[in-house]
Every structure is written in structure tokens, then in C-alpha cells.
Amino acid sequence: MKKTLMLVFVLLISYMWSDQYLYASSRKAEYRKNGLAIWEINTKEKLVALTFDDGPNPVYTNQILDLLAKYHAKATFFVIGERAKEFPDIIKREAKEGHEVANHTYSHIYDFDNSPAKLRKELERSSTIIKNITGFKPTLYRPVAGYYNDLILNTAIKNGYRVVLWSWTQDTRDWSCPGINKITNNVVSDIKPGDITIFHDSGGDRSQTVCALENILRYLNKEGFKCVTVSEMIYRSESITPKILD
């Protein structure tokens, strides 16, 4: 047991000191300054954006949509193209009920072998499916696993996307099923205007996410927060037009 823990620790430290991690971290401030990616929105209005990755899912996405309707909240769904193709009715419902349907690649990959063409193809395939179902081309893209670099950001922007990550304090880590209270507290203990919260509506058992969401929506309502789509929050804020880096 001790040995395993030690190994995990050593692996973690070596990752943190790898070129990739240091590079991404050192560039984050520059990306933020140039608006290449969005982690949160600059606003004084009590607006927040709830986002759901990896759907649609025939069970959990519908339960989430029911809750959002109950609390008059709008959200953003970063959907996987191949799943959208499988469950078009759920995508249709998301759009019809005023939520934003956004791009999370076609096959949920993050390794593009340094090929802008590969990423472009992933985005296009997914975008075509979403447009055929909803009538709208998605304008937001969330990189899989939150992994980004110059190539990913520049390619996405050149293809008409805003790249959306999530607020540092609003990562629910619901994919690890940490418990309803933990997911709830992660959001409500630290939420502020302009925050972008990340949940997952597919990829495993998401019943904890659904239960936590009801607590969170109740809290946000009580505190006077309005849940809007990411695009609406960008529209209502002082945002920066992204500049491609050389």
C-alpha cells in the first residue's frame, strides 16, 4: 500500500514538472489575457453558467432537463457528436427548452497528433450533427479533459469557436462520484458572479450529479443567482475578442 502511494506521488510530481504541465500553466495567463480561452466571465451581475459534458444520456440528461425546467435555469451542454447522433431527441429537447448545445468533439478525443486537420474534422463532424438536429451551428467548444495547447486553441478559434474551460473553484469532479454533499458543497461554498461550473451528464452513473443539482439550483435561486447559458453570460459581460497567438 505504502509503495503504491509512493509511486502515485512520484508520478504526480514528475507530471507536474513535465514540459507539458509547465508550458500550459505558464501560458495560462497569456491565454486568459488574450481571451483565447474562457475560465470564467467578468460580470458584476449575479449570473452563473452551469455546464454538462459528455452527453447526451437517455436517463440522466432528461432528469437534468426536468430539474432545470423546474428552477427556470438555462445551461450549456458540451455534447459528444457520436452520442448526439445516437440520441437526437435529447439534443432537440435541450435546444427547444432554451439551453445551449456546444461542441465537445465527435469522438471525445484530446490527442490530435499535432494535427490541426484532425481537430478540425472532429469539430466539423460534431457541428454538422448538432446543426442538423437543432438548426444551429455550435459556437463554443470545450476541449476533452480540459487539455489545451496553442494548436488546439488556435485551430478552434480559426474555425469559429470560443474555447470554454471552467472556473478554478467550480470543478465538481462529479465523474468520480464523490457523494451528493461533496458535489453540492463544491459549488455552493464558493460560487460567485461569472463562474462556470462543470458537471457530467454521461459517462457513468450520474445519479449523484442529478441529486446534487437539485440542491444547487435551490441554493442559487435562494441567493438570487440566475443560471444562463455560457453565450448569454459572454454577451452580457465585458468579454475580450480572442487574438490568435503566433
Give the residue with the Cβ less far from Zn ion, 53 or 201.
53
Give the residue with the Cβ less far from Zn ion, 41 or 144.
144
Out of 54, 104, 174, 200, the active site residue is: 200
Footprint on this chain of Zn ion (rule: CB under 5 A): 53-54, 144
Q: How many whole angstroms separate alpha carbon 186 and alpha carbon 98? A: 26
Amino acid of residue 201: D
183 is written with which cell numbers?
Answer: 458535489
Residue 49 Cβ, how far from Zn ion at the closest point, in Å? 17
Residue 5 Cβ, how far from Zn ion at the closest point, in Å? 28
Out of 19, 53, 171, 174, the active site residue is: 53
- Return the H-helix or E-strand segment holding 129: helix 116-134
Q: How many whole angstroms separate alpha carbon 131 and alpha carbon 142? A: 17
Query: 3-state class of 58 per DSSP?
Result: coil
Residue 120 Cβ, how far from Zn ion at the closest point, in Å? 19
141: left (phi > 0), else alpha (psi -120 to 50), else beta? beta
Give the residue with the Cβ less far from Zn ion, 145 or 244.
145
Which residues, 6+ apart, have CB-to-CB distance to 208 below 8 Å? 174, 177, 178, 179, 180, 183
Residue 45 Cβ, how far from Zn ion at the closest point, in Å? 28
Give the residue with the Cβ less far from Zn ion, 52 or 225.
52
Query: 3-state class of 211 per DSSP?
Result: helix
Active site residue 99: no
Active site residue 200: yes
Active centre residues (catalytic): 53, 200
